[in-house]
A and B are shown apart, each in its own frame.
Chain A
Amino acid sequence: VVKLKFLSLSVLVLVGACSKDSPEPPDAASLDYQKQLQTQLITAKPGDVIVVPAGVHPINRGLSLNVSGVTIRGEGMDKSILSFKGQLQGAEGLLVSASDFTIEDLAIEDTAGDALKINEGSNIVIRRVRTEWTNGPDEKNGAYGIYPVQTENVLLEESVAIGASDAGIYVGQSRNVVVRNNRAERNVAGIEIENTFFADVYGNVTNENTGGILVFNMPDLPQPGHSTRVYQNTVVGNNTDNFGAEGTPVASVPAGSGIVINSNDRVEIFDNEIADNDTANIIISSYYATGWEGIRDMGDAYDPYPETIYIYGNRLSGGGSSPDGLDLKALKVAMFGLTGSLPDVLWDGYFNVDKVDVDGNLLTEYAICVDNDGAQVLNADLPNGSADIVVGAAQHSCQHEKLPPVVLAAPLG
């Protein structure tokens, strides 16, 4: 019996072994700009544009903005840099609790926790913002780079996210979101869409993360997610060792994951370039497969199954050659030989047994449809202890009605 948990064993040994000296905090004189920027944020009025001049500006405490209708604008993501090295206080670099907010053309570097968090607001534009931990992947890096949560009508474009110990770009519990033309690399998750309704994720480059693009639903939250389209992205070589802290959801993502759908519904993956992700180019899983504990009581409202998934027209190549984790390695060797590869699509095999036809098959409307130029699906049959692992395409030969594009409402649309 092959036990296939998506929990990566190699993660465990990485954790806790790192130590580094904390960088020296900047001296008081160099913090003059910090005080000026804080004052601008505190006294801001709707309609204000706060300009961050070119230069590296040391900041040692969390910044926050609570006024709606404000724009923060730098002179370029490689010119106007807020550097939080040695940050003393604050779980974020910049925390925004406001609507009608635009931030563009600047960088937020080396925050202790999250770089840019926008908590509850509508009409949010994040454009050409770079969030980066400049030391590269490290378990000690902050969790999220660009992190809008409980937001509505969001445009996140042309930004760059590097080195986050969770997700570089993380859209949580939001509605009506466009994430386009960004670059996310060397994070644990490149882009993560979680518990969100109506998201279009396109034109992004997500390479060299642990997992490229994740579409997840977590239990207990105020809203489940559905209706995400992931298309025309480049998702190549996401083979960075998982450096997320154990206990976080992304810590269960195996290195070498291209696009991962977990427990989310109505997800469409098409016209992407997905290549050389060593575990699998596409993974579809339920909450049960994550290796997370505490699943006995998920709450009645939570649907742990990925349903109505539609994968078509992607360019898939080179994935599955060196899966992460002993279980998956053993599975690969057993089924495909030392030089073989896992198929392009990996599915844990869990589905809702209350939604089946007379033959016990999942009703077509909830099915995982893979109509992708002969791409094979490996059903790991986890519900039955992997007793009957199946590889093929026929079982997933179906189509769903395509989702409509996300239309951003005025003033963004």
Chain B
Amino acid sequence: MRSIFGLIALGALLVACETASRPVVLHAADNPPALLSDWGLMSADGSSLEFNDGVVPYELNSPLFSDYALKLRTVWMPGDTIVDYKDDGDLDFPVGTIISKTFHYEKLKESDGLLYVHQEEGEATLKNDGSLDLHTYVMIETRLLVKYADGWRAFPYVWNSSQDEATLEIAGDQRDIVLVQGDTNERITYVVPDANQCAGCHVTDHTAKKLRPIGPKGWQLNRDFSWWGNSESQLVNWAAIGMLGGYDGTAPQGVRWLSPGDATLEDRARAYLDANCAHCHNPKGAADTSALHLNIDAPLDRLYGICKTPVAVGRGSGDRPYDIYPGRPQDSILVFRLQHTDPAIAMPELGRSAIHAEGVKVISDWIAAMNGAC
């Protein structure tokens, strides 16, 4: 039997999270519980969020932007099942897998019904015992992706104000928050997607119309993560405890779009576009209607947007001629759509009520540095 307690030898400080909690419960697809706690994945008491045994947090190299929310991701798999590493870096999770993603912010204050949070790029910061400090952070929602025999299902849960329970809200929710960065306050309406909108991103093959996880792939997981207490790649750690099979130690290079120096500007831009766009903009995706393919393995040609005229862009064109105009970010539609929050213009279409300034900068810098003409 696999146990994450085997990791103590790796130096992780996992002893403290040992709890006598209930086991994780895999509920039927058509009967998800109203309360998140009934899954047994995690429990919160208003002071901290703790995870059950066998629930493994993970981090991505280049996550999807979601209104500056910090994201705490976990995976749990039943019994001795393993996730299968495919040659192309895809991961094939076993039936019964539960992936969770908890959207949270560093909390500043609550005032007049508005939640003030710190706007900062970053990763989930777990304490040494693997828990999340709820004096520092406020949780908005936890989304579950659960794999059943007939495919993945998505369930959105919204946290209560006392931060001790989250409730299933298949119709989603919305919450007014203020993003605070230095002296700047930006008020946005944070929109929790409804269960159908989960498919808007997680159906990456729009013909098959099947949900699937987007983040956990070889290149995204190929990085260290402090939770393990070592500097090995997560893939190595997953393999070491026996939850990952078929991994021979070679994975595509992990590219962190946010970290200069790690990779070229082009690699970073492409990592960003893959993470934020390719779930729709791939040759089988919902946005194949546009013939714009931004997946990380797509050739860097016209269909990647270079000198490509739009098809059905509406006023998303911003009066600009091409998706990517080499050397001219100010004339590139891609940049225009990242710079706006109007739902008729904004890309990505979901989860972006705020402008991602750092993302705009990477894409703009890359296009500005590009040679060539149209």
Could you list which residues of chain A lie within 8 angstroms of chain B, going by C-beta atoms? Answer: 15-16, 34-35, 38-39, 41-43, 61-62, 64-66, 87-91, 95, 97, 112-114, 119-120, 139-140, 142-144, 147, 149-150, 165-166, 170, 172-173, 194, 218-222, 244-249, 292-294, 296-297, 299
Contact = CB atoms under 8 A, between A and B. Distances in A.
Contacts of B195: 42
- Chain A interface SS verdict (over half): loop
A42 B316 CA distance: 28
Nearest to A173: B289
Say which size band chain B's interface belongs to: 35 or more
A61 B172 contact: yes
Contacts of A249: 309-311
Contacts of B320: 246-247
25 contacts: A38-B196, A42-B195, A61-B191, A62-B349, A88-B189, A89-B189, A89-B353, A90-B350, A91-B346, A91-B349, A113-B343, A119-B206, A119-B289, A143-B313, A143-B344, A144-B314, A170-B312, A222-B288, A245-B319, A246-B317, A246-B320, A247-B317, A247-B318, A247-B333, A299-B302
Interface stretch (B6-14, B34-42, B197-205): B197-205
B291 A140 contact: no
Contacts of B322: 293-294
Nearest to A88: B189
Nearest to A12: B319
A36 to B, nearest CB: 8
Given A88-B343, A165-B314, A294 B174 contact: no
Contact of B314 (A65, A166, A194): A166
A362 B5 CA distance: 78
B20 interface: no
B2 interface: no
Contact of A97 (B203, B317, B350): B203
Contacts of A90: 197, 343, 349-350
A46 to B, nearest CB: 14
Given A91-B344, A297-B307, A248 B313 contact: yes
A244 B316 CA distance: 11
Contacts of A293: 309, 321-322, 374
Contact of A88 (B289, B310, B319, B353): B353
Nearest to A140: B315
Contact of B342 (A15, A38, A112): A112
- Chain B interface SS verdict (over half): loop
B317 to A, nearest CB: 3
Contacts of A65: 196
B371 interface: no
Contacts of A97: 199, 203, 206, 209, 286
Contacts of B170: 38-39, 42-43
B17 interface: no
Give 4 closest A-B pairs by Cβ, nearest first.
Answer: A143-B314, A247-B317, A246-B319, A220-B291
Contacts of A142: 314, 344
A93 B203 CA distance: 19
Contact of B344 (A34, A112, A172): A112
Contacts of B206: 97, 119-120
B343 A89 contact: yes
Interface string B272-302: 0000000000000010110100000000001
